[in-house]
Structures are given as structure tokens and as C-alpha cells.
Amino acid sequence: ERRTLSRLRDVPAITRDGVRLQLQANIELPSEIDSVLAAGAEGIGLFRSEFMYMNRDDLPSEDEQYQVMRTVVERMAGRPVTIRTLDVGGDKLAHSLGIIPGPNPALGLRAIRLSLARPELLDMQMAAILRASVHGPVRILVPMVATIAEVTAARAARDRAAITLCRAGHVLPDPLPPLGVMIEIPGAALSADSLARHADFFSIGTNDLTQYTLAIDRADEAVAHLYNPLHPAVLRLIQFTAEAANRAGIPVGVCGEVAGDPRYVGLLLGLGIHDLSMSATNIPVVKKRIRTLEYSQVRGFAQTVMSQSETARISQLLEQFNQDAG
Ligand code: PEP
Ligand code: MG
């Protein structure tokens, strides 16, 4: 088993009828890069930069962040690295930022909202990211976007940081790293067609998208049994987002937990998703599954699923599909 999985490292994630998927890794710390490379990841689809802010009393400087990002970019040796700007608040509180949780942190000042409320944080991150982009292909990912205005403001912060760096003598890549948007708020998914005109790519965060669509705290044990990304509403939001991105000609991926679950990959591909980012350890099993699939078949399967109205029935269909084709 172990040997089969390691042999999988060097073969492409391709369906039996030749549709190629891109499998990337989610990381929190640069120490994970060894396992990312061992798993054969084609890039970093999600670098959760907030982990540089956790478990400490002070803030990481621009230079410290740059060094960490540069290490990741260099070790990925030409493969793309997607760096997400600070996503704190909600379940992720960074002590060093002195955030006082509001009445409902999940709906409060968090992620891009916090970054825009404290522009010095965003400026510093953008500068670190841009400096890292000198060492290899980098993409910028903005978490918890709800509005076009937030995308525009994040892009302005990127451009401002670029001007400052250039004035200080840095030579940056031209064009600058693309700026993508996390689709993890239902309102963002429902405006995916408009957001697609302002974003260079989408990454669908199904963990939060499920939480906010179903109003179920993803960390609350008492309602964990109700948390299910196969709810038709969540699937419709994924489908709408994928179709909007594909129509606009921008890349769209999924980076939530479902991306790393081999049971979901057929459905996601059938909904128009070709990029998956997951914990590195899941890459081999997901790839193995992809290599058993037929694109023509998963398209039809996704259609069947999307005509269903009950989560339980969808779960059943999915199980059946995975047994038949597995
Ligand atoms: C998500 O919400 O699906 C996601 C990938 O981001 P995080 O789990 O870091 O909130
Ligand atoms: Mg999220």
C-alpha cells in the first residue's frame, strides 16, 4: 500500500479519459514542505499565513514573514505558492494582535475585514509576499471576501506595497502576483459572477462556506452532526461559483476539507472544479481515485446529484457512486 502510494507521486492526476486535475497542498508551517514534496504536490494551494502570528506575544515583522515565505517559495522550486493574507478572528484568535472578540466572532472583525481595518498589517504582509515573489511564482489569496470593494482595496494594498518596494530599489516581477479571492461566504458565492471580474482566481473554502450557509458553527460539537457540505444549498453555491469562474476564464479551486477526501473528488470535478488543495497526506489517495474516474461519467453523476433535494439522498448516491467506480 505504502509503495503504491509513493509510486503515485510521479504520475499525473488525470482521469481515464484524459482530464487533468491539479493537486496542491495546504500548509500552515514551512516545516510541512518535506511531506508536501514527498506527496508530489504541484504547488501550495493554501499557505495559512496566520500561523506566523499565533502562540506569541509580539507581531512578526515584515522581514520575518518574508524569510518564512521565501523559504517556502524556494523549496517549492518553481511550483506556484498561494499565500493567503491574515485570516484571524472567529476560531482563530491571534493573541499578539490584541483582538477583543465581539459578540459573535464568526461574524465579526476578522480576516480581510481586520486587515483593512488595520492597514499597517496588510501593507506589511503585502510587502513580505511581494518580496517572496521574487524567488518564484506566488499568488495572493484574500480570505473571507464578501464584497467587490474588499477585493479592490486588497489589490490597492498590493499595488501600494509594490510602489514602496520599487522606490526602495527592489525589482519585482512584472506582472505582480495574481490576486485571488476565497469564496467562503454564501453572499460571495452568490455574487461569484461579479466578483470574477475583479479576481484573478477563486478558491472555494468549503469549511466556512458550509458553516455560514447552514448557520452551523464548524467548531461546535453539539451541532457537528448537522454540519454537511453535501447539503444541496452548499453544492449549489459551489456549482454557481465554478460556473461563474469558468465562464469568466479564471481558475477555480477548492481548498476546504472536502478537497482532500477521495469520496468527493468525482462530484467536485463534475461540478467544474479542476484544482484541489488539501493536506499533503491526502494527495496520494485523491490522485488514486481520480485515475479511476471518467470525466464524462462524473459530469452525469454531478447532474444527478444536483437534481436531489435531500442531503441524505445525496450522501447515499455518493456512496453508491464510489462503490461502483471504486
Ligand atoms: C475554508 O474555510 O474552507 C478554508 C480552507 O479556510 P480555513 O479552514 O483556514 O478557514
Ligand atoms: Mg475559511
Residue range 115-128, pLDDT digits in tens: 999 999 999 999 99
| 64 — pLDDT class (breaks 50, 70, 90) | very high
Pocket mutation for ligand 1, best pick of 208, 237, 252 (most atoms within 8 Å of C-beta): 208
Burial class, 237, CB count within 10 angstroms (exposed 0-12 / middle 13-18 / buried 19+): buried
The average confidence (pLDDT) of the chain is 95
Q: Provide the pLDDT for residue 275.
A: 98
Is residue 84 in contact with ligand 1, taking CB distance under 6 Å?
no
Helix 232-248 vs helix 206-214: angle between axes, to the nearest 10 degrees? 130
| 1 — pLDDT class (breaks 50, 70, 90) | low
pLDDT at 62 over 90: yes
Q: Provide the pLDDT for residue 92.
A: 73
| 324 — pLDDT class (breaks 50, 70, 90) | confident
Instruction: Please report the atom of ligand 1 found closest to the CA of residue 84.
Output: 9
Cβ contacts of 27 within 8 Å, gap of 6 or more = 33, 36, 44, 46, 47, 48, 72, 280
- What percent of the chain stands above pLDDT 70? 98
Is residue 255 in contact with ligand 1, taking CB distance under 6 Å?
yes
| 91 — pLDDT class (breaks 50, 70, 90) | low
Q: Distance between CA 228 and CA 315 in Å, rounded?
A: 10
Q: Provide the pLDDT for residue 259.
A: 98
pLDDT at 278 over 80: yes
Instruction: Please report the atom of ligand 1 found closest to the CA of residue 91.
Output: 10
Q: Provide the pLDDT for residue 76.
A: 98
- Give mean pLDDT, residues 268-297: 97
| 258 — pLDDT class (breaks 50, 70, 90) | very high
- Which residues keep their CB under 5 angstroms from ion ligand 2? 184, 205, 208
Radius of gyration in angstroms for the set of CA atoms belonging to the chain, rounded to a whole number: 19
pLDDT at 325 over 90: no
- Give mean pLDDT, residues 56-76: 96
| 205 — pLDDT class (breaks 50, 70, 90) | very high
Q: Provide the pLDDT for residue 93.
A: 74
Q: Distance between CA 226 and CA 208 in Å, rounded?
A: 14
Q: Provide the pLDDT for residue 2.
A: 65
Instruction: Please report the atom of ligand 1 found closest to the CA of residue 204.
Output: 3
Q: Provide the pLDDT for residue 213.
A: 98
| 83 — pLDDT class (breaks 50, 70, 90) | very high
Cβ contacts of 304 within 8 Å, gap of 6 or more = 317
Determine which residue's CA is closest to atom 1 belonging to ligand 1.
Answer: 205
Q: Provide the pLDDT for residue 89.
A: 81
Neighbours of 304 (CB within 10 A): 12
N-to-C CA span, the chain: 16
Instruction: Please report the atom of ligand 1 found closest to the CA of residue 211.
Output: 2
